[in-house]
Amino acid sequence: MGELHRRRHDWVISPSAGHSVRSVVSEEPKQSSRPEIRMLMQQQLNEVTQDHRDSLSFVWTPAGIGRFWDLVAKEPRLQNLYFSRQLAGYLIQLAKYAGLHTGQVLDYGCGPGYLAKALVESGYDTTALEFSEGSAERVNRLISPAPKWHGCIAAQAVPTPLPDAAFSWIFSIETYEHLLDEWIDGYFRDMFRVLRPGGCLLLTTPYMENLDDNLNICPSCEIRFHRWGHLRSVPPDELTSHVIHAGYEVVYCRAIDLCTVGSFIRRPPMRDVSIRTVSTWIKAKYYQRLERKRAPDFPNQHHIRTLPHGPHLVLIAKKTT
């Protein structure tokens, strides 16, 4: 087939060798149709561009996810960026407000083990679970032998080798957003299985994350991927729906700033004094004294109700049966 050339009002087809040349005279396109043609061409270009982008997006598989996190865990320069390393203390404090006292605690999907280490150091009987043998070995090297440290167990799939109804509290921190769709139901049901009746699950995940904000492009192969391998942006109703379907009772589900947990409101400095800041401080002091005598159940404490909105979607759910 030959090339198509535009010569004023004629469309001339220049065929390949061996074919005769034929001129076709066409009418000038109507003025009103030109915007429609341009819109159609732009739409087709957008579709081609989107198809090209999709073809360059990294496809996360079980093997790819495991390899990615093994590589991240081995990279010393990334260790300080781990969520559990930065916020372990705040997570434990929030669990205390929600009723964590004694009993067996599980860090489900523990990653490098920073939360598990903090739990052991805080005096809790702690077990960890990881879906990579290499990561589990590193966690067991990280945490020194101690009476309340029961080791990190490696699992290949769910149901995991953990015993039924063995734990009073389960932490699953920044794990949900990495799961393939086909893993989600088994993930919640396995944690429900190993949780004791009356036990609680504390789960965190980024709140309504714009995944494009952490898009990376490999300069070698041009593949696009999320910096931390996140597969979904999570609204609260999606999370609570999965939890209820698995049999839990939702106790708390809010997007908060975890870094403010345990930070009680202090008297404002002179430069910040206003009717609003002083009244907020007086109200906080009032509730602090009132709740010392009769502490309300979680999450009705004043310092929980007034936690500011933030990027961390926190869910606490209970196994009632």
Higher pLDDT, 53 or 182: 182
**DSSP letter (8 states) at residue 272:** G
pLDDT at 187 over 80: yes
The whole-number pLDDT of residue 283 equals: 79
pLDDT band at 9 (very low <50, low <70, confident <90, very high): very low
List Cβ neighbours of 250 (8 Å cut-off, separation of 6 or more): 240, 243, 244, 315, 316, 317
Q: Are 257 and 311 in contact (CB under 8 A)?
A: yes
Q: What percent of the chain has pLDDT over 70?
A: 84
For 87-101, b/e burial (b = at least 16 CB within 10 A) is bbebbbbbbebbbbe
How many beta carbons lie within 10 A of that of residue 107, not counting itself?
29
Averaged pLDDT of the chain: 86
Mean pLDDT in residue range 81-95: 96
Question: Comparing C-alpha atoms, which of 53, 78, 83, 54 is closest to residue 68?
Answer: 78
Mean pLDDT in residue range 244-265: 93
Q: Are 168 and 77 in contact (CB under 8 A)?
A: no
The whole-number pLDDT of residue 288 equals: 76
pTM (two decimals) = 0.79
**DSSP letter (8 states) at residue 171:** E
Q: Comparing 99-108, 140-149, 277-286, 293-302, which segment has the lowest mean pLDDT?
A: 277-286
**92: helix, coil or strand?**
helix
